[in-house]
Amino acid sequence: MAAAEEGQWVLMATGRSPTNIAVIKYWGKRDEALILPVNDSISVTLDPDHLSATTTVAVSPSFPSDRMWLNGKEISLSGGRFQSCLREIRKRAQDVEDEKKGIRIKKEDWGKLHVHIASYNNFPTAAGLASSAAGLACFVFTLGKLMNVKEDHGELSSIARQGSGSACRSIYGGFVKWCMGKNNDGSDSIAVQLADEAHWNDLVIIIAVVSSKQKETSSTSGMRDSVETSPLLQYRAQTVVPERVLKMEEAIKSRNFESFARLTCADSNQFHAVCLDTSPPIFYMNDTSHRIISLVEKWNQSEGTPRVAYTFDAGPNAVLIAPNRKNATILLQKLLYYFPPQDNDLSSYMVGDKSILSDAGLKSIEDVEALPAPAETKMPSQKFKGDVSYFICSRLGAGPKVVTDESLALIDSVTGLPKGV
Amino acid sequence: MAAAEEGQWVLMATGRSPTNIAVIKYWGKRDEALILPVNDSISVTLDPDHLSATTTVAVSPSFPSDRMWLNGKEISLSGGRFQSCLREIRKRAQDVEDEKKGIRIKKEDWGKLHVHIASYNNFPTAAGLASSAAGLACFVFTLGKLMNVKEDHGELSSIARQGSGSACRSIYGGFVKWCMGKNNDGSDSIAVQLADEAHWNDLVIIIAVVSSKQKETSSTSGMRDSVETSPLLQYRAQTVVPERVLKMEEAIKSRNFESFARLTCADSNQFHAVCLDTSPPIFYMNDTSHRIISLVEKWNQSEGTPRVAYTFDAGPNAVLIAPNRKNATILLQKLLYYFPPQDNDLSSYMVGDKSILSDAGLKSIEDVEALPAPAETKMPSQKFKGDVSYFICSRLGAGPKVVTDESLALIDSVTGLPKGV
């Protein structure tokens, strides 16, 4: 280590990583410590403008210990998730030289330096939208940049995997497959990109963030319980998923929305079926989730072919995927008919790409109130105001990126502490 | 046919049959026409004093056609369910002589006589409590009595099966197994009694009739969809259920409540998992069902061993089985804490064996309001008034019986029409 004056400098890097939503689900580990899954999974990466984690990692000889802040609040780093990633990246650290600041760090010195990490999600952490996937992927990616790690994205995905399984899929944009791998050391359990976000860029994603009163089972303990008690899980992993993965790869390659939608819905439902087959049973979906599924299924059935796909992770929120803007606007009209905003405030009810509202002809709450009942529903046209907290409209997006604008760094380059703390 | 004066007489029989609730579930037919299942199932027969169908079958040369009334309203007999049973029983009809009335019907004459059928359920038909099982079993049993059919209960169960699959299990009291059979003609797909109701007579059944706004999928079309689309159904039928059936038989034989409860809960959940794995997915349980499961699971977990079992059929109602009166009263206290009566009327909130209320120390609505929050629940002690319509307290019961008291017949012996119509 040789710096302007030892202990006086702070070196930082900032990155931004997307979240992802699985269309072929990951549920169950074959190795808890290394986070090796029982089956392959496939996801789409969401636009980081709408759903992403931004992380700044700083290093300084003046830091007496590793510390981390999430959304402005300091959190413990003693858990295994961040420690595994930190250890793996440190192992691969290379010489770094910042001529402007006069800082030189030799590869063997990284082990002596502590890090400060500040991370921020541009969407509610508690909403069950894979915030840990975005966060861990961002941490690994940004730390790798700071420490001049030369490893490729596959290797980085394998490190992110050890922090949070699905984080490995957030290392790429577009369509991503997490190959379960065969090796006991996990070296071949990595993510690969199937196609980038430009390959099928007319897909529109609408997320319904569903209000929930229930405390949810964490996915970590939930999948452990499923592996131990569900008689259906191994059959799903060994027999059903391998075939679905092949079909899904083909559907993505050929942009076959019908096949993509059928597989996505069926696999979401099967994942929740395995949760229900767990002892004690795990319920992630609630009555609102069920109503959204019914709405989509009835529409799809009345059209004879899927107009939209749905998928649910370990929570009640619906992620709806439309093949184009037109279907997305019709979907939105149906959704808002049943789930109007609680407080009549339309503009805060739609987050992300708000322009979908005007595309759907919904410029005011009066437009929402004037919506006709969807023709295909025979059910009494009851409404469920308040059952959806808000919607997010998004699209597919790119993988992690370095944020070069220093004003966007989350850590103060002088104090080495989060800005505003 | 030789009667006092032809056309002037009405010959009748009345019977009463219990409903049953499966603890190893029937879900999926391998033959739609004959109603042959994809796996064995096991049920408990409920006390007919609380849940049963009463049916009067009348025959007269003056009846120009077969007619049926359910709960006082005439219903069509053109559907296959009753026709199959009617045909099969008619085939087996024997000579009948009623000396008192001077009626003699020869076996070959039954084919020329039409029947009037009046049936009544002593519980809400729409509540999803296997009303068709009780109704079809009662129809077959009573018609068999009227027509002097000599076949044994196994044969009768096979005929009832062709009316409604699970009806075959209502031909016996106590614990009943429906053997799926192997023959293509269904001749070996019959019910057998595993043990009568006296074998384990301290079991207490509490049913929570759950309010539902959703229109439910009929079990007939639901199981057809599951057979056609669920990748998990065949695995369940071929691999999981056979082992569970053996264990359940053993648990019943040895009155091992722990094993009985674990199998009952797991199999209910797996049946609903298969429904969810169906395309489009079928949801029978709702948020209230989930809350009742959570309540039971938390209690069972806190005690380290099951205090009560739950099972759900094709609807949101919870059927809860306690090993004894003590556990049943504690269960009732927990249930009423979360689900107090909507209109504060405690006495109409408990149907069947109402004495369970005073056993649980609940003599007035004030006693319900004074109930403490269950200690094992960490969830905020929110209450869900109105989410349960009412409770039924019952026990195991006997199989079908002839009702000899003519005043209880549902058909007027002079007009041949339902009384009061």
pLDDT digits (tens, 9 = 90+) for A73-84: 999 988 778 889
Is the bond into A280 cis (omega within 30 degrees of 0)? yes
B233 and chain A in contact, CB less than 8 A: no
**pLDDT value, residue A376:** 86
Stretch (H or E) spanning B36: strand B36-37
A11-18: strand order across its sheet? A73-75, A67-70, A114-121, A52-60, A11-18, A401-402
B231 and chain A in contact, CB less than 8 A: yes
**pLDDT value, residue B375:** 86
In this complex, the residue of B272, B279, B280 whose CB is nearest that of residue A276 is B272
d(CA A404, CA B14): 86
**Chain A to chain B, count of Cβ pairs less than 8 Å apart?**
83
Distance from CA of B299 to the nearest CA of A (A): 12
Grade residue A3 by pLDDT with cuts at 50, 70 and 90. Answer: very low
A291-310 pLDDT, tens digit each: 999 999 999 999 999 999 99
Here the tokens at position B27 are: 């879900």
Distance from CA of A210 to the nearest CA of B (A): 14
Distance from CA of B11 to the nearest CA of A (A): 45
Tell me how far CA of residue B115 lies from CA of B10, B77, B139, in angstroms. 10, 11, 11
Lowest model confidence (mean pLDDT) among A97-106, A263-272, B224-233: A97-106
For residue A266, which residues of chain B lie inside 8 Å, CB to CB? 277, 279
Tell me how far CA of residue A206 lies from CA of A286, A311, A333, in angstroms. 18, 11, 12
Q: CB–CB of B6/B109 below 8 Å?
A: no
Stretch (H or E) spanning A22: strand A20-24
- Return the CATH architecture of domain B11-196+404-408: 2-Layer Sandwich (3.30)
**pLDDT value, residue B211:** 76
Distance from CA of A123 to the nearest CA of B (A): 26
**pLDDT value, residue B80:** 79
Distance from CA of B297 to the nearest CA of A (A): 7
Give one DSSP letter per residue of A122-186, joined into a string. SS-GGG-S-HHHHHHHHHHHHHHHHTT----HHHHHHHHHHH-GGGGGGGSSSEEEE---S-TT-
Here the tokens at position B171 are: 């031909």
Asked if pLDDT for residue B241 goes beyond 90, the answer is yes
In this complex, the residue of A231, A286, A378 whose CB is nearest that of residue B240 is A231
* Fold that domain B204-394 belongs to in CATH: Alpha-Beta Plaits (3.30.70)
Averaged pLDDT for residues B328-352: 94
CA dihedral B193, B199, B202, B207 (to 10 degrees): 0
Helix (H/G/I), strand (E/B), else coil: B40: coil
Q: Which residue has the tokens 């279907």?
A: A327
d(CA B242, CA B265): 16
A240 and chain B in contact, CB less than 8 A: yes
Angle at Cα A213 formed by Cα B329 and Cα A294, nearest 5°? Answer: 100
Other beta carbons less than 10 A from residue A211's beta carbon: 16
**pLDDT value, residue A4:** 43
Q: CB–CB of A50/A20 below 8 Å?
A: no
B113-122 pLDDT, tens digit each: 999 999 999 8
Averaged pLDDT for residues B247-273: 98
Give one DSSP letter per residue of B96-138, joined into a string. EEETTTTEEE-GGGGGG-EEEEEEEESS-GGG-S-HHHHHHHH
Q: How would you label A67-93 residue by residue, b for 16+ Cβ within 10 Å and e otherwise?
A: bbbbbeeeeeeeeebbebbbebbbebb
d(CA A419, CA A403): 16
Tell me how far CA of residue B48 lies from CA of B131, B235, B314, B320, B325, in angstroms. 12, 35, 21, 17, 19
Q: What is the ipTM of this complex?
A: 0.93
Answer left, alpha or beta for residue B173, where phi above 0 means left and psi between -120 and 50 means alpha: beta
Domain boundaries, chain B: 11-196+404-408, 204-394
What is the 8-class DSSP label of residue B213? -
Here the tokens at position A81 are: 């998730």
Asked if pLDDT for residue A30 goes beyond 70, the answer is yes
Which of these, B205, B144, B151, B153, lies nearest to B177 by C-alpha position?
B153
Nearest-Cα residue of chain A relative to residue B288: A287
**pLDDT value, residue B3:** 46
Question: Would you call A269 and B279 a contact, using CB atoms and an 8 Å cutoff?
Answer: yes
Here the tokens at position A67 are: 């510390």
Instruction: Report phi then psi at A299, rounded to 5.
Output: -65, -50
pLDDT > 90: what percent of chain A? 85
d(CA A240, CA A192): 21
- Across A341-350, B70-79, B316-325, which has the greatest mean pLDDT? B316-325
Is the bond into B280 cis (omega within 30 degrees of 0)? yes
**pLDDT value, residue B4:** 43
Q: How far is CA A114 from the centre of its chain?
A: 28
Asked if pLDDT for residue A213 goes beyond 70, the answer is no
Other beta carbons less than 10 A from residue A358's beta carbon: 11
d(CA B174, CA B201): 9
A239 and chain B in contact, CB less than 8 A: yes
Helix (H/G/I), strand (E/B), else coil: B403: coil
A351 vs B214, higher pLDDT? A351
For residue A222, which residues of chain B lie inside 8 Å, CB to CB? none
Angle at Cα A64 formed by Cα A58 and Cα A69, nearest 5°? Answer: 50
In this complex, the residue of B213, B235, B279 whose CB is nearest that of residue A235 is B235
Question: Would you call B276 and A272 a contact, using CB atoms and an 8 Å cutoff?
Answer: yes
For residue B235, which residues of chain A lie inside 8 Å, CB to CB? 232, 235, 239
Averaged pLDDT for residues A362-384: 87
Q: How would you label B12-45 residue by residue, b for 16+ Cβ within 10 Å and e otherwise?
A: bbbbbbbbbbbbbbbbbbbeeebbbbbbbbbbbb
d(CA A43, CA A89): 25
Burial class (CB in 10 A: 0-12, 13-18, 19+), A372: exposed
Averaged pLDDT for residues A377-392: 84
B307 and chain A in contact, CB less than 8 A: no
Asked if pLDDT for residue B107 goes beyond 70, the answer is yes
Here the tokens at position A153 are: 């994205």
Interface test with A, best of B276, B286, B311, B378 (most A CBs within 10 A): B276
d(CA A180, CA A27): 12
Parallel/antiparallel/unpaired status of strands A114-121 and A67-70: parallel
Answer left, alpha or beta for residue B415, where phi above 0 means left and psi between -120 and 50 means alpha: alpha
Question: Would you call A280 and B297 a contact, using CB atoms and an 8 Å cutoff?
Answer: yes
d(CA B342, CA B384): 9
- Mean confidence (pLDDT) of chain A: 93
Question: Would you call A273 and B269 a contact, using CB atoms and an 8 Å cutoff?
Answer: no
Other beta carbons less than 10 A from residue A403's beta carbon: 18
Averaged pLDDT for residues B60-88: 91
Asked if pLDDT for residue A37 goes beyond 90, the answer is yes
Nearest-Cα residue of chain B relative to residue A298: B280
A114-170 pLDDT, tens digit each: 999 999 998 776 556 767 899 999 999 999 999 999 999 999 999 999 999 999 999
d(CA B90, CA B109): 10
Grade residue B62 by pLDDT with cuts at 50, 70 and 90. Answer: very high
Averaged pLDDT for residues B9-22: 96
Handedness of CA A391, A395, A399, A405 (dihedral sign): negative
B258 and chain A in contact, CB less than 8 A: no
Cβ-Cβ contacts under 8 Å for A302 (sequence gap 6 or more)? A375, A376
Lowest model confidence (mean pLDDT) among B164-173, B277-286, B339-348: B339-348
Helix (H/G/I), strand (E/B), else coil: A383: coil
Stretch (H or E) spanning B327: helix B325-338
For residue A240, which residues of chain B lie inside 8 Å, CB to CB? 231-232
AA letter at B98: D
A303 and chain B in contact, CB less than 8 A: no
Distance from CA of B173 to the nearest CA of A (A): 30
In this complex, the residue of B232, B280, B379 whose CB is nearest that of residue A215 is B379
* CB interface of A with B, residues 261-290, below 8 Å: 262, 265-266, 269-270, 272-274, 276-281, 283, 286-287, 290
Asked if pLDDT for residue A19 goes beyond 50, the answer is yes
Q: Where are the beta strands (DSSP E) in B171-322?
A: 175-178, 191-195, 204-210, 309-311, 318-322
d(CA B88, CA B39): 24
For residue A235, which residues of chain B lie inside 8 Å, CB to CB? 232, 235, 239
For residue A276, which residues of chain B lie inside 8 Å, CB to CB? 269-270, 272-273, 276
pLDDT > 90: what percent of chain B? 85
Q: Does the domain at residues A11-196+403-408 carry the CATH identifier 3.30.230.10?
A: yes
